[in-house]
Structure 1
Amino acid sequence: MRRALAGLTTRGRSFVAAGATAIVCAFVLGERDLLRAGVLVLVLPLLCTLAVARTRYRLACARRLDPPRLPVGHEARVDLRLENVSRLPSGLLMVEDRVPYALGGRARFVLDRIEPHGKRELGYRIRSDVRGRYRVGPLTVRLADPFGMVELLRSFSLSDTLTVTPAIVPLPSERLTGAWTGGGDSIAGAVSAAGEDDVIPREYRHGDDLRRVHWRSTARHGELMVRREEQHFQSSGTLFLDTRRSAHWGDGVAGSFEQAVSATASIGVHLVRAGLHLRYVTDAGEALPTASADGGFEGLLLDTLAVARRSKGTSLTAGMAALRGRTGHSQDVDGLVVAVFGVLSAEEARSVAAARRGTGTCVAVLVQGHGHAAPAGAGESGNAGRDPGGRAAAEKAAGLLRASGWRVVAIRSAADLPGVWAQAGHTGEDFVRDGA
């Protein structure tokens, strides 16, 4: 009863105040008719409160998100089912599903009546232009009397999570050479299937099968040569994202960090669907270990990138150590490496260049962002405005990376990635120009 009294609406409180005032005035003035009217006005909201408090509605709720994970800018549908599992019909119900403001605000519905064991289907759409993980629910139901004197709030504990992932842009099916690492004798590149003459032989070792002797090479070198063991190829690679606050330009969706996250998601999804076994590394170290392409890595990567934030770190040491395999699997250093960076100083570029080991393909994606204001700590003057040396610094970093065997592409936004992705599949000397 006390809970129901706390649920008096403005109308109900006004009736209580008016009734009490009328009763006091009736005693002062000695007016019996005014007393009767005051009692009626006072009792009406109290009777409504008693009626609502004695309700024994038993309601069941179910919610379904379709889909539970989606890229930014896309819509998800929320379907609600409210069931009256009691033997009594419900009264007026005001239903509200709590939705974060970023998804569009709360969804509200009014239901006149639900018959015993009856059901009502409700639905609405939500979308977000900001990636993240959002809680949808719980559902609250307000029980109201026909006169609008009192409302009783009842809440369900059920809630669901909607994951809004970074925007994903489709990439052309460009095969990155060197993306496959062998499980037999290690060779630089794939063995051609054109014929025996194209096989790269090696020196004979004690215990080698004599049936593998390559006679032409033996005659040419003057010593016994054998064909290399058949390669058991397994796709593997590492995806790296530089999350340092000092390495990125601007804020919001147009900032270089958001574009870098979107580019990382696009590349990761593309490589996983191509059959690669990836691991995900940031400047802080390994974030997701190696997983098979069909082992749910795509979902784990998107969930991780959905809540990625810029870090306060200023060093790439831990990330480069993980990239070299010191904190991961050592065999990953010969696989494909795709690293997404913001601004790199010459010293940082040298550190990244030194991380390349073995014969694996290493691709660096430099995200320059739409803005020209230098990131924190990047400029000497520290003032806002255009960064005249930013372009030269980017080209210098690209040159240092390319000199050590990295393949380098530069973009302003993730939307530019499909146009330059083909460059990642070839070794080139020209710095990829981003759009104006």
Structure 2
Amino acid sequence: MREALRGLTTRGRSFLAAGAAAVLSALILGEKDLLRVAILLAVLPLLAAVYVGRSRYKLACTRSLEPHRVPVGSNARIVLRLQNMSRLPTGTLLLEDRLPYALGSRPRVVLERLGAQQASSVAYTVRADVRGRYEVGPLVVRLTDPFGLCELTRAFPSVDELTVIPQVVSLPSVRLTGEYTGSGDSRARSVAVHGEDDSATREYRRGDDLRRVHWKSTARTGELMVRREEQPWESRATVVLDTRAYAHRGEGPTASFEWAVAAAASAAVHFRTAGYRVRLVTEIGVDTDATEPDGDGLLLDQLADVTASQRSDIATLVEQVRRRSDNSVIVALLGALTVAEAELLAGLRGNRTTCVAVLIDSSTWMNLTPAERVEADRAHSAAALSLQESGWRVVGVGHGDQLPSLWPQLDRGSQGFAWRAAMAETVAGGVK
């Protein structure tokens, strides 16, 4: 009751003061009618306080996000359901859901009243242009009586999380060599002199299922032979994201780092759709192997949180990738590189590993003088040439380029010697 009295509005306090003054006047003047009016003025705010205070503890609220995970630039629908659990109707309700600044202004909704045991739902939409995880809530409800004499605030403690993931774009299919690694008896078998039929058999071992006996080979060799166990080939792709802050330029959603994050998301989902087992690696400790049915969501959630780091370097990134030796396809989204850093990355190129560098020229996200542009182009081309000579396929990215149009260049036939030509032109321009 004490808290309810503190919730009296200016109107309620005025009624209470007027009632006290009228009571005093009625006693002095001996006016019974004035005393009745005075009692009415004084009791009304008290009744309103009791009414609102009772309603305050008889409300239930639930919040649902549709969906919980949205791409950058998309809308999410948030539904609030408020139920009056008491046997008395409530007064006017003012709802305010607390939101972080990135999701926009706080929505305010007015409900006139809720009857006994009645429920009502309201919905609003939010939009985020910056990826990340955002807390939605808590919900604050202001309750008031029909006369506006008392107002109390209740905050529901529940908070929901909205995950804003990078924008994923569809990529065309390309043929990558060296993309299959396998296991089992079929992995390293060779063709014997008797032909392919014998290459799929081996000697009988104790415990083998007799239904796997290959009678033709048994008759020819004089020993019991069984068919080899065939295990499916497994496609594996590693998506590497360069998170070095000094390798990227630009601010906000249009920065080169955000381009790289969105490209990593699109590449990971593309490989997952194509049937690959995808691994996501960064030099700041992210090493996610997506094998679950909701692997896409796991990868995208990781990319929603990733940030550029001032303390990361290429050597750490290379060491992180080398923790697993079964990389068959490596697609690296890289910022600006020096030749020395490109030589470190060259060590990831194995005999059976196809390495593709999507090399971002972050200097194109800056306004440079002609002399600075020549120097930046020269450094970029030199790093690209170093990677290409070590066996990497290099795809260059400038400001404004779109990943779907660049993706077909991952094919071996598109590799060419474009970077050699770019290097020659840059050097020639510098000489002039």
| TM bin (shorter chain) | 0.7 to 0.9
Aligned to 1:401: 387
Aligned to 2:256: 256
Aligned to 2:365: 371
C-alpha change, 1:338 and 1:60, in structure 2 (3 Å) is same
Report the CA distance between 1:251 and its aligned residue: 1.3
Cα deviation per residue 1:97-121 (whole Å; 9 max; x = unaligned)?
Answer: 2222211222221111222222212
Higher helix proportion (structure 1 or 2) = 2
Report the CA distance between 1:13 and its aligned residue: 5.1
Q: Any conservation in 2 of the 1:398–1:431 contact (CA below 8 Å)? A: no
Report the CA distance between 1:284 and its aligned residue: 3.0
Instruction: For 2:375, give the aligned amino acid.
Output: G
Report the CA distance between 1:40 and its aligned residue: 7.2
- For the pair 1:123 / 2:112, whether they are aligned, the reply is no
C-alpha change, 1:68 and 1:340, in structure 2 (3 Å) is same
Report the CA distance between 1:14 and its aligned residue: 5.9
Q: Any conservation in 1 of the 2:290–2:299 contact (CA below 8 Å)? A: no
C-alpha change, 1:410 and 1:145, in structure 2 (3 Å) is same
Distance 2:344 2:17 in 1: 76
Instruction: For 2:365, give the aligned amino acid.
Output: G
Q: Any conservation in 1 of the 2:96–2:108 contact (CA below 8 Å)? A: yes
Distance 1:412 1:168 in 2: 19
TM-score by length of 1: 0.77
Residue from 347, 357, 370 that aligns with 1:354: 347
Aligned to 1:330: 325
Q: Any conservation in 1 of the 2:90–2:145 contact (CA below 8 Å)? A: no
Q: Any conservation in 1 of the 2:239–2:264 contact (CA below 8 Å)? A: yes
Moved more, 400-409 or 352-361: 352-361
Residue from 370, 376, 396 that aligns with 1:410: 396
Distance 1:206 1:56 in 2: 80
Report the CA distance between 1:417 and its aligned residue: 0.7
Report the CA distance between 1:18 and its aligned residue: 7.5
Equivalent positions of 1:30-45 (< 5 A) are 44-45=44-45
Q: Any conservation in 2 of the 1:284–1:316 contact (CA below 8 Å)? A: no
Report the CA distance between 1:55 and its aligned residue: 3.7
Q: Secondary structure of 2:316's partner?
A: helix
Cα deviation per residue 1:210-239 (whole Å; 9 max; x = unaligned)?
Answer: 96xxxxxxxxxxxxxxxx997842111211
Q: Any conservation in 2 of the 1:78–1:123 contact (CA below 8 Å)? A: yes
Distance 2:418 2:41 in 1: 83
Instruction: For 1:304, give the aligned amino acid.
Output: Q
C-alpha change, 1:240 and 1:56, in structure 2 (3 Å) is closer
C-alpha change, 1:10 and 1:404, in structure 2 (3 Å) is farther
* Stretches of structure 1 lacking an aligned partner (at least 5 in a row): 212-227, 375-382
Aligned to 1:274: 274
Distance 1:79 1:51 in 2: 27
Aligned to 2:378: 392
RMSD between aligned residues: 3.8
Distance 1:251 1:18 in 2: 60
Distance 1:123 1:415 in 2: 38
Report the CA distance between 1:246 and its aligned residue: 1.0
Q: Any conservation in 1 of the 2:65–2:79 contact (CA below 8 Å)? A: yes
C-alpha change, 1:414 and 1:236, in structure 2 (3 Å) is farther
Distance 1:92 1:263 in 2: 49
Cα deviation per residue 1:298-327 (whole Å; 9 max; x = unaligned)?
Answer: 111111111111112142222101222xx2
Question: How many residues end up aligned between the 2 structures?
Answer: 386
Aligned to 1:214: none
Q: Any conservation in 2 of the 1:249–1:373 contact (CA below 8 Å)? A: no
Aligned to 1:134: 134
Residue from 410, 416, 428 that aligns with 1:429: 416
Q: Secondary structure of 1:331's partner?
A: coil
Identity %: 45
Distance 1:144 1:365 in 2: 60
Q: Any conservation in 2 of the 1:144–1:152 contact (CA below 8 Å)? A: yes
Cα deviation per residue 1:386-406 (whole Å; 9 max; x = unaligned)?
Answer: 644222211111111111111
* Stretches of structure 2 lacking an aligned partner (at least 5 in a row): 205-213, 218-227, 423-432
C-alpha change, 1:11 and 1:392, in structure 2 (3 Å) is farther
C-alpha change, 1:234 and 1:40, in structure 2 (3 Å) is same
Equivalent positions of 1:24-103 (< 5 A) are 44-55=44-55, 58-103=58-103
Distance 1:386 1:93 in 2: 61
C-alpha change, 1:368 and 1:403, in structure 2 (3 Å) is same
